[in-house]
Amino acid sequence: MNVNFIREVGAAKWLLRKFVREFWKRVLKRDNFLRLPKENHYSSDIFVTNCEIDWGAERVLSKHLEKNGVFLAVGAHMGYYSLYVLPLVKAVYAFEPDSRARAWLTRNLSP
């Protein structure tokens, strides 16, 4: 549990996020949530902007995807875009050359 993150976004917003996440995991049996290291500053950005850290570019991208298509993420970092589009396409192939980020990418995309 990241106490600094809870302080930053507020306890009520954190509890709501926790409830939604648990509902997706336990009731809907889906777990498409990005796990970020505590020291990563994107943690609060992703929550505060409702998973739109690129100022809405995600929605623009998602409009151009086809349900039976494949998404290729080269330089995928921790898998933010890969997880964002995963429910929208047939398959996602993500590659990351940096071993530190690749460890998080692997963790985020593994079932």
60: containing domain: 3-109
pLDDT, residue 23, reads: 79
Tens-digit pLDDT profile for residues 26-78: 787 766 566 666 566 555 555 444 555 555 677 788 888 999 999 999 998 88
pLDDT, residue 89, reads: 93
Tally of domains in the chain: 1
- How much is the pTM? 0.56
Query: What would the mean pLDDT of 91-98 be, rounded to a whole number?
Result: 93
Q: Cα(65)–Cα(85) distance, rounded to whole angstroms? A: 8
Helices (H) and strands (E) in the chain — how many of each?
A: 6, 2
pLDDT, residue 97, reads: 93
Q: Cα(53)–Cα(50) distance, rounded to whole angstroms? A: 8
